[in-house]
Amino acid sequence: MLSDLPFTLSALRDAYAAGTRPEAVIAEVFARLDAANDPGIFLHADREAALAAARALGAPDGRPLWGIPFAVKDNIDVAGMPTTAACPEFAYAPEADAFVVARLRAAGAIVIGKTNLDQFATGLVGTRTPHPVPLNALDPAIVPGGSSGGSGVVVARGIVAFSLGTDTAGSGRVPAALNGIVGLKPTLGALSASGMVPACRTLDTISVFALTVADAWAVHSVAAAPDPEDAYSRAFPAQPLSPVPPRLTIAVPDAASLQTFGDRVQEAAFRATLTELRTRGVEIREIDFTPFYDVAAMLYEGAWVAERTAAVGARLTEAPETLHPVTRSIVEQGLALTAVDAFRGIYRLAELRRHCTAAMAGIDLLCVPTIPCFVTREQDAADPILHNSRLGTYTNFVNLLDMCGLAVPCGTREDGRPASVTLLGRAGQDGLLAGVAGLVEAGPLGATGWHRPAAPVPAPEPVPGEVAVAVCG
Amino acid sequence: MLSDLPFTLSALRDAYAAGTRPEAVIAEVFARLDAANDPGIFLHADREAALAAARALGAPDGRPLWGIPFAVKDNIDVAGMPTTAACPEFAYAPEADAFVVARLRAAGAIVIGKTNLDQFATGLVGTRTPHPVPLNALDPAIVPGGSSGGSGVVVARGIVAFSLGTDTAGSGRVPAALNGIVGLKPTLGALSASGMVPACRTLDTISVFALTVADAWAVHSVAAAPDPEDAYSRAFPAQPLSPVPPRLTIAVPDAASLQTFGDRVQEAAFRATLTELRTRGVEIREIDFTPFYDVAAMLYEGAWVAERTAAVGARLTEAPETLHPVTRSIVEQGLALTAVDAFRGIYRLAELRRHCTAAMAGIDLLCVPTIPCFVTREQDAADPILHNSRLGTYTNFVNLLDMCGLAVPCGTREDGRPASVTLLGRAGQDGLLAGVAGLVEAGPLGATGWHRPAAPVPAPEPVPGEVAVAVCG
């Protein structure tokens, strides 16, 4: 039964190999979307275009994403669909696909539509939209997460196999934690930003949501390529999913600096994951996270707000009523900042980066809870800034420090909510993150109820003169 | 006769090996300074401290700069001497040497004093100082160059063996061209900025003036080291002076984009140097320099002025009368710039950098005239902005593009003025610049009349399967 088919890459490939037609998969996508009955997920979905794309694929031809349905956050261009950034008055009709979308389509993937977001990608709650708010896939009382809210929910519900989000402050990771899926935030510049509406242009990246690390990595591998048209594009050598090195040291916040805002269950879940990592032979080193929090504070309290102001442009002064009130209240703070403030912020970041670099001496990766606690729709409505800020505790500093991140589901908390940690690496270590994630990836696939496919853990490489300790899971 | 001793490293080392005492050299330094009769060179000189340092050296001990006298631009700290940045009201008494000064002193070098500069290092003429303007060492009708004016003149007159300048827009190169000496502007971060008064903190570097490339490189080799206290310090592998590669492609401005403001003699001198490079086996490739000029324009017309505003700080609004009027007129422009302007400038630079990178595809180095033309004191007085800007034609873009530069004397123009080109390389290619400079380095040693010592040109490395063409000079 197609209605039972898990939308993972491996299951879809098996179905196609067995003769299933992509047109049937697209029909099933829309059947699932109808069944979800959530008008907040997509701002634009095009069944006919998707069916036409499916028909045009012809016979399976071995392309890595042949027939794979995906969704695109509505601040990324898809030719033939409007781009709005959740600001209807901002809408334009892009002439071409964003660079990354074009690569995914060229690999055979099929766009279903454009997903809802916190307007202009400013937010981590997913509720700052003039449209209906997408419902959290696991618990409608909880915020869906943002800013890539629709892209997180649509994957967690199994409607598409993967989605594109964007990530400046955590928008590609927070929805993953809140919906029990994987969120890959690549190193800045690895995925071209051509055809993406900027939030903070020096800190933005497109991101990938999927049900499993293997799927997210497969999508990333197709999407990543140097783009001569994007001034912030960077060339990284082609990366296989790295094997777990035989000696691995991961730093985590020490007891004094771990922040969960009173969520003891979240703390317990995080410690359980660390225990699992230790069991797998990883050395866990507790460090003071203060320098990282100091960096995080700069993203909204410092000069970088002005990047959002620059991105919104004249709208802020000429048509402020077209902005979501919370978005507007944040972005207009940038109008008061001077160029001297901006450069002083840049200097301070350089100083703080030095402290963070020192804190990471001898460390391979960091591991943090993806979110410190859960936030209800009610809490968000009562204070739309405070709880949003809390959600960024472990994400806001990452792009400012030019690190890559991978939010990984790691089972279920004792209260039934999804557990998630984020592995963080230095620029270019994306492949290592994806490899190490296999040590902890566990639990339900979003809200789908599907069985998690076995993740192949790459074999550790023995160091000379030493016998590798086999790590199985 | 000590009065005839050239103050090059080799001549001083020979003299010390033959028994000369550093106290005698210091006495000679001050005799030469007295003879120069130019109160504009030093803002502070300390004969007794230098003599004490000379006495304290004891017997020669093999340290690389043992007994070598040098001068320090007065925006770099020397313990025991005030730092003023040519703004008397700004004066403070530093408790410690700047990182670089400490390294040079530890290697045996002796500080003579602090040299005059364009106030707060803002200028390329050397005349924007409330003190007497240092006289150009070769022709008092010509500006001395800046902002490191005193540091350029004091080396060109043979009063010290080398000096420290700083370079943000060309301050470490323009005085070299105007006084017939070598100006080494290292890759940003190679020399620590700890203990340096910032101009544009993201673009500043300490620089080295000397009579020969070999001397400048020897000083740089001692001064360069990672500094954990400087957020902008970068670690570069230890660099020997690189041999000239057997195949070398150097790009130069094409005929349409070479700017000399009508100075045909400068153009002829530049072309003569290119002919010399071709004779030595270098491939010269003419390229359109427009993208580089577009970058250059951003330094004073774009957001980076606000870095100077930030550096001057509250003085600009609270005590503007303490600033040089030209300096003030420039720096106060930064008060009008917003943080949005700053980030838009940063985005535009990223775009332009992309064009420059493309223009440099397949290119090893760039070669430009260090200055497009000469500027007289009279011209500068008549229009203190225009002629200053012209002097930055080939220097303003360099630090914004994270390139290193080496200004090299290459003989005498047909009208008797010094000829100078600047070799420019990508970040970290400083050693290659110093090696290649040997192909063109020629002519008088500043205003000294001393004989130029033979510069050892490193042997070219043969590529496999090929016989290297010997390049002798």
Q: Could you report the per-residue pLDDT of A333-385, keeping only the tens digit for each?
A: 999 999 999 999 999 999 999 999 999 999 999 999 999 999 999 999 999 99
Q: What angle do CA B424, B429, B431 make, to 5 degrees?
A: 105
Number of CB atoms found within 10 A of residue B57's CB: 18
Q: What is the chain B residue with the closest CA to A338?
A: B338
Which member of A306, A350, A351 has the closest CB to residue B343? A306
What number is the average pLDDT over the span B51-72? 97
Q: Is the peptide bond before A221 cis (omega within 30 degrees of 0)?
A: no
Torsion (CA) B194, B199, B201, B204 in degrees, nearest 10: -70
DSSP secondary structure of A87-116: -GGG-B--SS--HHHHHHHHTT-EEEEEE-
CB contact under 8 A, A347 and B228: no
What number is the average pLDDT over the span B75-95? 98
Mean pLDDT of chain A: 94
Please report where in the chains the tokens 């390139």 appear, as a residue: B403
Which member of A231, A342, A354 has the closest CB to residue B351? A231
Q: Could you report the per-residue pLDDT of B332-345, keeping only the tens digit for each?
A: 999 999 999 999 99
Give yes or no for a contact between A167 and A75, defined as CB atoms under 8 angstroms apart. Answer: no
- Percentage of chain A surpassing pLDDT 70? 96
Q: What's the longest Cα–Cα distance across chain A?
A: 69
Per-residue confidence (pLDDT) for residue A302, from 0 to 100? 78
Per-residue confidence (pLDDT) for residue B458, from 0 to 100? 52
Is the predicted pLDDT of residue B459 greater than 60, yes or no?
Answer: no
Q: Could you report the per-residue pLDDT of A92-135, keeping only the tens digit for each?
A: 999 999 999 999 999 999 999 999 999 999 999 999 999 999 99
Per-residue confidence (pLDDT) for residue A456, from 0 to 100? 58
Per-residue confidence (pLDDT) for residue B462, from 0 to 100? 41
Q: Could you report the per-residue pLDDT of B204-218, keeping only the tens digit for each?
A: 999 999 999 999 999
The residue among B191, B233, B237 whose CA lies nearest residue A357 is: B233
Number of CB atoms found within 10 A of residue B143's CB: 31
ipTM: 0.92
Is the predicted pLDDT of residue B115 greater than 70, yes or no?
Answer: yes
Rounded to a whole number of angstroms, the distance from the CA of B208 to the nearest CA of chain A is: 25
Helix, strand, coil percent values for chain A (each to nearest 5): 35, 15, 45
Per-residue confidence (pLDDT) for residue A463, from 0 to 100? 40
**Substitution target from B295, B317, B343 for chain A, most A beta carbons within 10 A:** B343
Return the amino acid letter for A380: D
Neighboring chain B residues of A201 at a CB cutoff of 8 Å: 343, 347
Confidence of residue B300 (pLDDT cuts 50, 70, 90): confident
B201 part of contact set with chain A, CB < 8 Å: yes
Query: β-pairing, B205-210 with A162-167?
Result: unpaired
Q: Is the peptide bond before A147 cis (omega within 30 degrees of 0)?
A: yes
Confidence of residue B467 (pLDDT cuts 50, 70, 90): very low
Of A182-186, B39-43, B296-300, B462-466, where does mean pLDDT reach its minimum?
Answer: B462-466
Per-residue confidence (pLDDT) for residue A470, from 0 to 100? 36
Is the predicted pLDDT of residue A213 greater than 70, yes or no?
Answer: yes
- Percentage of chain A surpassing pLDDT 90? 92
B31 part of contact set with chain A, CB < 8 Å: no
Is the predicted pLDDT of residue B122 greater than 60, yes or no?
Answer: yes
Rounded to a whole number of angstroms, the distance from the CA of A306 to the nearest CA of chain B is: 5
CB contact under 8 A, B350 and A228: no
What number is the average pLDDT over the span B172-180? 98
Per-residue confidence (pLDDT) for residue B455, from 0 to 100? 65
Number of CB atoms found within 10 A of residue B202's CB: 18
Q: Could you report the per-residue pLDDT of B135-161, keeping only the tens digit for each?
A: 999 999 999 999 999 999 999 999 999
Mean pLDDT of chain B: 94
Q: Is A38 helix (H, G, I), strand (E, B) or coil?
A: coil
Catalytic position from the list A73, A163, A185, A233: A73
The residue among A120, A40, A169, A471 whose CA lies nearest residue A329 is: A120
Confidence of residue A420 (pLDDT cuts 50, 70, 90): very high
Is the predicted pLDDT of residue A12 greater than 60, yes or no?
Answer: yes
What number is the average pLDDT over the span A156-167? 98
Give yes or no for a contact between A151 and A175, defined as CB atoms under 8 angstroms apart. Answer: yes
Per-residue confidence (pLDDT) for residue B1, from 0 to 100? 78
Element (H, E) at B32: helix B22-36
Per-residue confidence (pLDDT) for residue A237, from 0 to 100? 72
Rounded to a whole number of angstroms, the distance from the CA of A68 to the nearest CA of chain B is: 34
Is the predicted pLDDT of residue B367 greater than 80, yes or no?
Answer: yes
Of A362-371, B242-251, B402-411, B450-459, where does mean pLDDT reach its minimum?
Answer: B450-459
C-alpha distances (whole Å) from B290 to each of A94, A420, B388 are 31, 51, 20
A27 part of contact set with chain B, CB < 8 Å: no
Q: Could you report the per-residue pLDDT of A256-267, keeping only the tens digit for each?
A: 999 999 999 999
| CA A174/CA A374 separation, integer angstroms | 10
Of A243-252, B278-287, B430-439, B449-458, where does mean pLDDT reach its minimum?
Answer: B449-458
| Catalytic (active site) residue A221 | no
B92 part of contact set with chain A, CB < 8 Å: no
pTM of the full predicted structure?
A: 0.93
